[in-house]
Amino acid sequence: MEDDIKPSARFLLSLIAFLVGACSAPTPEPTQTPTAMLTPSLTATLTSSQTPTPSQTLTPTATLTLTPSATPTPMYPVITVENAIDIVEIKRWDSNNAVSFAIAVELVFSPDGKRLAVSALGDGIRVYDTSSLRQVAALGSVAEESWMFQNIAFSPTGDLLASGGSGNAVILWNTETWARAGSMFGHTDRISGLAFSPDGELLASASRSENAVKIWNLNNLKELVPLTYDSAGPGHVTFSPDGKLLASGWTDGIVRLWNVETNKVDRQLTGSEAVFSPDGSLLALYDARAGLVVLWDVKRQFAVRTLTTTFGVGSGMAFSPDGGLLATGSTEKSVVLFDTVSGKVLTTLTGHARNVASVAFSPDGRLLASVSSDGNARLWAVKEP
């Protein structure tokens, strides 16, 4: 009988021990799913009424506050031959928002498209952020200096902005700090044209009362051998995309094509202003006397087509980044967009009260800017569907 009881007792003792152990074992935590990583722009901000849960990790992050004036501009479509008819004004700087320009001269986009610089007689240079459209810098804003910075150009890397005007000197600005980075003296009259070489090593500057285009070495800010001609009057200057040619408009109505290596004139063409297409295959020649633009084939050296309107083309020219469009000012206070293949007028942008002085496409081709002696600068884009 004793042998029969012992196994039963042992079984009961084992059962009791199992039950006691199960009751005292810790309750396993529920399995947590991985917490999603939030990028800074998407990080949620907890208000004081919210309590972070254990699964949230709060780290110090910069908070971006978007005010109405700082709202980024939408990503507009690239301006093309097909949609140019749908271009509308998206921003205007004028007396109504207290940022009009006395007599606007020129505007340029930075190479990365993040900045738009506008120069004006008596107003110096104002620089705008193209995302928020807010002013980020004012150069030469002191009254006695404001006339000194009229012609402007960004370096290919965007780290420098060159300016020149009635001060007879070329001033370089650091685009990070907007402090002066250097000065180049040698002109005897006000600057009428500036252009960086594509490699950023050289800067060309012109003055209408002189008979040469000055070339500066940007490594030491020293003047190199100038491009000299037998008559005065150089104005607008521009390098070809490969840096081998420099086109300069002259007051005698002739555009001179210089060989940069030999410092000699390769060719003389009718026109007072010139600009190369992005691939360097075409040279647009503005003829102020005839009120038209001729597209010149640089390699084959002949005119391929003439661009004109019933009311005449004005100064200020810019190719779109793909070369398919040419924007120009007009004598009718408007901006005209041409198809460079067919030569047809695609659209005319109206609104300026005086003749347009300068036009520019953004590097991504989504924006077109224009400025006029009416004191207004305008930004254009293809309207959203």
- Whether the pLDDT of residue 315 is over 80: the answer is no
pLDDT-derived band at 337, boundaries 50, 70, 90: very high
- Which element (helix H / strand E) includes 45? none
What pLDDT does 372 receive?
A: 86
Give strand ranges (E) for 96-233.
Answer: 103-109, 115-121, 124-129, 135-139, 151-154, 160-164, 169-174, 180-185, 193-196, 202-206, 212-217, 222-223, 227-228
pLDDT-derived band at 212, boundaries 50, 70, 90: confident
CA angle 263–246–184, rounded 5-degree value: 80
184-198, 239-253, 306-320, 348-362: which has the minimum mean pLDDT? 306-320
Q: Residue 94: helix, strand or coil by DSSP?
A: coil
4-13, 193-202, 289-298, 341-350: which has the minimum mean pLDDT? 4-13
pLDDT-derived band at 27, boundaries 50, 70, 90: very low
Q: How many residues in the chain? A: 385
> Residues near 137 by Cβ (< 8 Å), separated by ≥ 6?
125, 126, 127, 178
Q: Which domains, and CATH codes, for the chain?
A: 71-97+310-385 (2.130.10.10)
**Which of these, 169, 163, 158, 171, lies nearest to 114 by C-alpha position?**
158
Residue 229: half-sphere exposure toward Cβ, Cα within 13 Å: 27
Report whether 140 contacts 149 (CB < 8 A). yes
> For 11-37, what is the mean pLDDT?
43
Longest Cα–Cα distance in the chain: 136
- Whether the pLDDT of residue 169 is over 60: the answer is yes
Report whether 320 contacts 361 (CB < 8 A). yes
What pLDDT does 384 receive?
A: 76
pLDDT-derived band at 42, boundaries 50, 70, 90: very low
Report whether 123 contacts 166 (CB < 8 A). no
d(CA 258, CA 64): 50
